[in-house]
Structure 1
């Protein structure tokens, strides 16, 4: 690497005319010889940044005292060479680029002079005036890297932008890069021929080829919804006289559940969870047995999640590969959970406090998540999606809720993109709600239809609104309120059960 020595005197421009004079580049450190001078925490930070972005970098580290954390890097990065000694100018021989991380200002300036005499670029930690280049905040998504610089004015803003881009850019973006790379390699001929081939391929993007499921998902959702409502309504009208009476003389309970369904669906749309746990807590407080409460919740979720799932599908928020792995185990678990809970309906005085304890725990978890400001992000995605889906579906049906709290939280904690996880969980929940509610209906028949109809209409009205405002509401504030309300209502049910025993 040949780099001309920097001139002794630089032309100085007025600060208002200079602006950000940095020229962004990406350096192949795996093809250069890198020297790091320093062995303390700052040197560790520099070394970590280098190796995180260039694992195959050829690095020599020189320092008179080296902390153990730096020595441990040797086990993971065999190309790293460590020399525990004082710096000498000869250390710059056969070196291409230099990073300095010492707290000795005189030594830093000496190293800078030595480096410039050899035509080497140098970076000195926390000393912008001694630097030839800066290390920016880096966003990495597979082969995609985005470097951010504020010209040394505000490292905090650079870190905030890094966090924002890391959260916003989907993990699937790397797959797009790999596909474009494969397409590029397949193009042949001169420039004109390559343009024609590329135009022919990209024509498909205007009307891309979709799977049968993606093409017909809208009609499938509405067909299931209308068929479900038609079959249930026709059956109840002919077999349940109470249902006809209910339609004529509307019970006030309907209006309570209408407002509850709308409110809880809006909360669910804002934070991606808690519809089940809030609704089951409210239902138990209103006197519904656990199985009937879960049936009412899941019947209402057929329409609300069908609409929400369709909205997320239209916005491109569904990961179809994840959906295919998740759906069958989840539906199986939901059917089993609904069957078991329905079988215990005659023992509702005993199952009700059990469900209340479950919602109390979930309320506490939601509250803790609201105050967990710093969350560790996993480096590997969850691999046992089927097990997670089965467990989430079973708990959701057997205890009236928990699908979002269990599955969505686990997917996001496992490193999956929040928006794609939310859309996939929503559309999966539509099928789970449909089959579990059919199981409940088969086992229990028509009960508490005031509550069911109120939840159906209220949640359906809120679903299209909630899907669009899911990223515009303070999730923390809502989670705190939900956690407190759910825990309060659950404690009330548990205390009432204990008082009856006494």
Structure 2
């Protein structure tokens, strides 16, 4: 029998959530583009070093420097700046194509991932348009073809989400933590994963946004019989079908 598999669509990027917490990132430039890059990096808890003459600083970048949110060097880039073995990535945002290309080549020699602003061929990775709501991050990338289009698409996606979607995701994270206390054994791992998947699929996004701590506790009582009652059933004190909660974790009685 022939099987159907997804067709390969070349020309894309591998979109990843790059963990740069406590890692050193070098930003060369201090203008408006650099300001956006720096904010993204600080939101990801990176250790940011900025190199730029002070007379070229954007007000936001100057604010980050004044608040000591970044390490700052008031000068132009020097090749020796790349000698630090702890540098994870380099971002350039300067109005000098020749200098940018030189930095790109130096990064390639040292095998350091780099992004040269507005020069897609000289980028190991791209910055997309990002929607952020607490733990929720949604990135739209056009692979360097249309940054403004990425922004438009991202706004439309964000507008379609329920309010406080980030809070809902935080609540799901809390539910998972509580589930581990209810069923801590490693042998329960597959069942925990399957049950959490059922909750996320069977409950609407609006239900997850509305869920409170008492709802979590009541919902967890359905784990042992492997049931997923609705939010309405939980608040009415009942479960669909054959089970009735007795108020304790781990078991239910047939009625």
Equivalent residues in 2 for 1:11-30 (5 A)? 19-30=10-21
- Partner residue, 2:244: none
Q: Distance in 1 between matches of 2:97 and 2:191?
A: 59
Aligned equivalents of 2:193 and 2:17: distance in 1?
28
- The unaligned stretches of length 5 or more in structure 2 are 1-7, 199-221, 238-255
Q: Which residue of 1 aligns with 2:173?
A: 181
Which of 69, 73, 84 in structure 2 is aligned with 1:83? 73
CA distance in 1, matches of 2:32, 2:171: 40
1 or 2, which has the higher helix percentage? 1
The two structures have a TM-score, normalised by structure 2, of 0.67
Match of 1:104 in 2: 96
Q: Using the alignment, how far apart are the partners of 1:197 and 1:22 within structure 2?
A: 32
Alignment-derived partner of residue 93 in structure 1: 83
What pairs up with 1:260-271 in 2 under 5 angstroms? none
Preserved contact between residue 109 and residue 130 of structure 1 (Cα < 8 Å):
yes
Give, in whole Å, the separation in 1 of the partners of 2:39 and 2:144: 20
Partners of 2:195 and 2:12 in 1: CA distance: 40
1:60 aligns with 2:49: yes
Secondary structure, in 3 states, of the residue corresponding to 1:47? helix
Structure 1 counterpart of 2:38: 47
Counterpart in the other structure of 2:138:
146
Q: Which has the higher contact order (CA 8 A, sep 6+)?
A: 1
SS in 2 for 1:208: helix
Query: Which residue matches 1:194?
Result: 192
Q: Deviations over 1:453-473 (max 9, x none)?
A: xxxxxxxxxxxxxxxxxxxxx
The ranges of structure 1 where at least 4 consecutive aligned residues each deviate by more than 4 angstroms after the TM superposition are 195-199
Structure 2 match to 1:119: 111
Q: Which one of the candidate residues 50, 53, 74 is aligned to 2:65?
A: 74
2:12 partner SS: coil
In the alignment, the residues of structure 2 paired with residue 126 and residue 196 of structure 1 have an alpha-carbon distance, to the nearest angstrom, of: 44
Asked if structure 1 preserves the Cα contact closer than 8 Å seen for 2:35 and 2:58, the reply is no
Deviation, 1:26, is 1.0
1:67-466 pair list within 5 angstroms:
67=57, 69=59, 70-76=61-67, 78-94=68-84, 95-185=87-177, 186-187=179-180, 188-189=184-185, 190=187, 191-194=189-192, 198=196, 200-201=222-223, 203-205=228-230, 208-210=233-235
- Residues 305-336 of structure 1 show CA distances to partners (whole Å, capped at 9, x for unaligned) of xxxxxxxxxxxxxxxxxxxxxxxxxxxxxxxx
- Whether the aligned pair in 2 keeps the contact of 1:97 and 1:120 (CA below 8 Å) is yes
Give the number of equivalent residue pairs.
193
Q: Report the counterpart of residue 300 of structure 1 in structure 2.
A: none
Offset at residue 159 of structure 1 (A)? 0.7
1:403 maps to none
